[in-house]
Amino acid sequence: MFEIKDLQVNTGDKEILKNFSLTIGEGETHILMGPNGAGKSTVCKSILHHPSYQIKKGSISFFNEDITEMPTHEIAKKGIYYINQNPTSLEGVTNAEVLRTALIERESKVDVFAFHKECKEICEKLDIPTSFVTRDVNSGMSGGEKKKNELLGMWILKPKLILLDEIDSGLDVDAIKTVAKNLLEYQEKYHASFLVITHQQNLIELLKPTHVHMMKKGTIVKNGDASLITEILQNGFTTANDMIPGDENE
């Protein structure tokens, strides 16, 4: 479904990702872990062709279509959705306006009655007031409310690949359970895939990942199943058999 192959990404003159490769199948949940500065967030931003990051080589494909140089809004229309650790607030623009516009861009027209009915049902799932639909995007919301608000967008837009960059940031224990429950329900209903950046053990256990990747110095150094999480939590990121090629003398 989704593949990154031998990606090298710079910001200015600084190399952030090097020989980064990752394949995600339909319905899979991938956890990406690594120390600060490893390049985890850069992976998400590169997928969406963020202008501050330059892809020097490699490719990104989604359902066998090359999206490496595709503009961000076109990538989003293809079905890739990104929730970062500090979602942007847009004063003067409501959730309803943004979501209806996005749907119209993709589907030409929207049944307003059905749209508001679905929004109300989703708000109930997320345990947020229905008034969120007509509020300005993320404006005046707490960290936890912003994350749930972004999940409202996910449910409405129905992407196939969701990138979650520390979605647990700002969430209390109950909110983490609500978020995880919604992600799992969404995945089951739409057979979606997740790429999750987190070190939050509770969230990881709730999401039941199919694949775990450890990242260091801009590349993946170790792949595994959920058992790799236990190894990382016990030993940190300096584990056996994770030496990056060419680093033997460092």
The pLDDT assigned to 47 comes to 97
Q: Quickly state the pLDDT bin for 80 (edges 50, 70, 90).
A: very high
Tokens of 179: 């978020």
pLDDT at 245 over 90: no
For 117, 120, 171, 183, the CA distances from 176, given in Å and listed in that order, are: 25, 21, 6, 10
- DSSP, collapsed to helix, strand or coil, labels residue 118 as helix
The token duo for 10 is 């710079």
CB 191 within 8 A of CB 31: no
Residue 248 has pLDDT above 70, yes or no: no
Closest to 239 in 3D by CA, of 16, 33, 82: 33
- Distances in Å between the Cα of 79 and the Cα atoms of 115, 221, 229 are 19, 28, 28
What is the C-alpha separation between 201 and 165, in angstroms, rounded? 15
Could you tell me what percent of the chain has a pLDDT over 70? 95
* pLDDT exceeds cutoff 90 at 106: no
Predicted confidence band of residue 239 (pLDDT cuts 50, 70, 90): low
Cβ atoms of residues 232 and 239 within 8 Å: yes
Q: Is the pLDDT of residue 168 over 60?
A: yes
| Mean of pLDDT values over 109-123 | 93
Kindly list the domain boundaries of the chain, sorted by start residue: 2-86+160-235
Instruction: Please give the average per-residue pLDDT across 31-53, as a whole number.
Output: 94
Tokens 């990881």, residue? 204
pLDDT at residue 165 tops 90: yes
Q: How confident is the model at residue 250 (pLDDT cuts 50, 70, 90)?
A: very low
Question: How is residue 70 written in tokens?
Answer: 């595709």
- In this structure, what token pair is assigned to residue 144? 């936890």
Residues 6+ apart with CB under 8 A from 224: 211, 212, 213, 214, 231
Spell out the residues 6+ positions from residue 48 whose beta carbon is closer than 8 angstroms to its own.
Answer: 72, 75, 76, 80, 82, 163
CA distance 68 to 56: 11
For the segment(s) 2-86+160-235, the CATH number from 3.30.465.10, 2.50.20.10, 3.40.50.300, 3.40.50.1820 is: 3.40.50.300
Per-residue pLDDT averaged across 178-186, rounded? 95
Using pLDDT thresholds of 50, 70 and 90, give the confidence band for residue 240.
very low
pTM: 0.90
pLDDT of residue 249: 36
Here the tokens at position 14 are 């600084």
Mean pLDDT of 71-93: 92
d(CA 45, CA 231): 28
136-148 confidence digits (pLDDT tens):
998 888 888 899 9
